[in-house]
Structure 1
Amino acid sequence: MDEQTKLRQITSPCVSICKYNGNNFCVGCNRHMSEIFDWFDYSDEMRTAIMKDLSTRDIDANT
């Protein structure tokens, strides 16, 4: 599989609202800063796990 195909398997949950709270979580997509930076290095399995976890995160913009 070429690199471009790999990058399209699990798309980023980014919604272009890039604002971080005090705990380094993005209030737009609910990912931690490290998850955002490492997204393209993660396997599809890791990306899928993060995507499932995002729906349960309660990110406070002020925390």
Structure 2
Amino acid sequence: MEKKQPTYTQAIGEIEQILEKFNDSQMNVDELGAQVKRASELIKLCREKLRKAEAEVAEALKEE
């Protein structure tokens, strides 16, 4: 079963949590790699969602 993708807002929130943990030195070395990988995946997801939204807006404006 495929895991449901977070919304853009959820992804941004999770990225902010990861950054906060990192900035507050709450992240140990053992979890650093996994958290960086997760943040990278979330950033990629956000970029894809933004590109899709941009294309939808451009298409809607073109139809007018």
TM class, shorter-chain normalised? 0.3 to 0.5
Taking structure 1 as the reference length, the TM-score comes to 0.40
The answer to which structure has the higher helix fraction is 2
Question: Could you say which structure has the larger radius of gyration?
Answer: 2
